Structure 1
Amino acid sequence: MAKLTEIDTAAIPGGRGHLRLLQRDDEFSIRIAGKPGELMNSRLHGSEDALAELACTRVADRAPIRVLVGGLGMGFTLAAALKSLPDHAEVVVAELVPGVVDWNRGPLGSAAGHPINDPRCRILIEDVVTVLEQSPGEFDAIMLDVDNGPEGLTRKDNDRLYNAQGLETIQRALTNDGVVAIWSAGMDPAFSERLKRAGLCVEEHTVRAHRPGKGARHTIWLGW
C-alpha cells in the first residue's frame, strides 16, 4: 500500500505549530506536525456524522433555524448537519485555522461532498469562543468538535471553551430549548459532572469512528 504523502501544511494561529494534510488516493489525514498519530481521517468519520445527527434531529422541525458548527475539520459534521436540516436552515461554521478552510475549498473538499458550497452554509474564520460570546440567544443547536474534546491537544486555550465560564457562554448562545453537542476522543466522567453542575440536562453517547459499529469509541455529550 502506498504511503500517505504530505500535500500541504497550515499554521495554527498563536504560534501553536502547524497542521499537516496528507493524502493517499482518495484518503486524507490531518495531523499535528511533530506529534504522533492523527487528528482525523477521511475514512473514519462516523462519530463526526453522529455529532450533527444527534443535535440537528432535535431541532430540525423549527422555523427559522440557525445552528453553529465549531470546527470545520474535514467537513463531515457540516455535511451531516446540512443533510439533517431543512432548506430554510442556516449553518454557521467557525474555523480558527484559515488553511483548513482552504483545504475544504480545494483538495479535501471532495471527501465530504463539498458541503461548504451549500448556500445554507456560512463560514467564519474565527475562534468559536468569540462567535459564541457575540451571539447571545442565536443558535438552536451548537455542535463542538474542537481540538480533542475537553482534553485539549492542539491548543491549551481551548480549555476556556470547556470550563465553567465557557459552558455559561455556550448556554447564553442557545435559543430557548436549544441543544449543545460536544465531541470527544474518549470518555471523561469529570466533564459529564461539569455539564450537570452548569445546570444542563445531559445525555452521553458512545459512538464508533467507523460505521457500522467499527473503529475507536468516541463520546458525544448532548446538553439542553
Structure 2
Amino acid sequence: MIPWEHLDSAPIPDSSETLRLKRRGREYSIMLGTNELMNSRLFGSEEALARLPIEKLGTPTPHILIGGLGMGFTLRAALAVLPPQAKVTVAELVPAVVAWARGPMAEVFAGCLDDPRVQVHEGDVSALIRSAPAAYDSILLDVDNGPEGLSRPGNDGLYDPRGLQFAKTALRPGGVLSVWSAAPDAGFTRRLKNAGFGVEEAKVKAHRGKSGTRHVIWLAVK
C-alpha cells in the first residue's frame, strides 16, 4: 500500500481549523481534521450537482454560480454541458485551494480554470449571492458536507431561512438552486419549500458508475 503524503496545509478564513492536502500515488484527498471532505476517486455526486440543474435551464446564455471549488469536478461537469456563451463564476473561500488547483492538483483540474467561460472569486460565496439580485440562472452549493455538516459556523447562513431567501432573490425566474449533501435532511427540504421553491430531492451515487454510498442533491426551482 502506497502511504499518504502530506502536500500542504491551509487555514480556513474565520475559523480555527485547517485544510490538509494529501496524495497517495495519483489519488488526492482534502482533509479537515480526521474528516475527509473530498477525494479525487469519488466524484459522481459532485458531477450530478452541476448536470441535474443545468438540464432544467432553457436559456442559451446561462450564468452559473458555483460555491466551492473543491477538486473541480462540479466545474468540469458544468463546462461539459454548458454552451460557449455561458458564464461560470466559482467562489472559493480558501485561496490555497485555488493554488492547489493550479499546482499539485493541476492534473486533476485539467486546465478547466483557464476556460474563457470561467471566473474565479476568492471569497465567500454568500457575499456574491447577497449582492446580485436576479444575476444567476443556477446556484450550485457544495459547501462543507451539506446543510448540517458545517465546518465553519458562518456557512449556516447559506442554508437558514434568510439565506435561502437571498439565494432565491439572486436567481432569475426559473432559476435552480442546487445543493449537495452527504446525507438526507428532512428539515432542509422543509426550509426550501417554506422559502417558496419547487423542490426535488435526488439520491445520486458518490462514485460514477458504481454501487455504494449515495449522496443527496436538492434541486430547488424559483
Pairwise TM-score range, normalised by the shorter structure: over 0.9
1:109 deviation in Å? 2.5
Q: Which runs of 4+ in 1 moved over 4 A?
A: none
The letter of the residue matching 1:46 is: G
Say whether residues 1:136 and 2:133 are aligned partners.
yes
CA distance in 1, matches of 2:174, 2:21: 38
Residues 34-69 of structure 1: CA deviation (Å, up to 9, x unaligned): x2230000000000000000011212x413221100
CA distance in 2, matches of 1:116, 1:215: 30
Aligned to 1:160: 157
Aligned sequence identity (%) = 48
Residues 82-135 of structure 1: CA deviation (Å, up to 9, x unaligned): 001001100000110000010011111311423111111000001011010111
* Aligned-partner SS, 2:9: strand
CA distance in 1, matches of 2:135, 2:150: 29
CA distance in 2, matches of 1:80, 1:16: 32
Aligned to 2:216: 219
CA distance in 2, matches of 1:73, 1:161: 17
Say whether residues 1:38 and 2:63 are aligned partners.
no
Aligned to 1:149: 146
The letter of the residue matching 2:30 is: I
Say whether residues 1:200 and 2:194 are aligned partners.
no
- The number of aligned residues is 221
User: How is 1:32-71 mapped onto 2 (pairs within 5 angstroms)?
Assistant: 32=32, 35-59=33-57, 61-71=58-68
Q: TM-score, normalised by structure 1?
A: 0.96
Q: TM-score, normalised by structure 2?
A: 0.96
Unaligned runs of 5+ in 1: none
User: How is 1:166-205 mapped onto 2 (pairs within 5 angstroms)?
Assistant: 166-205=163-202
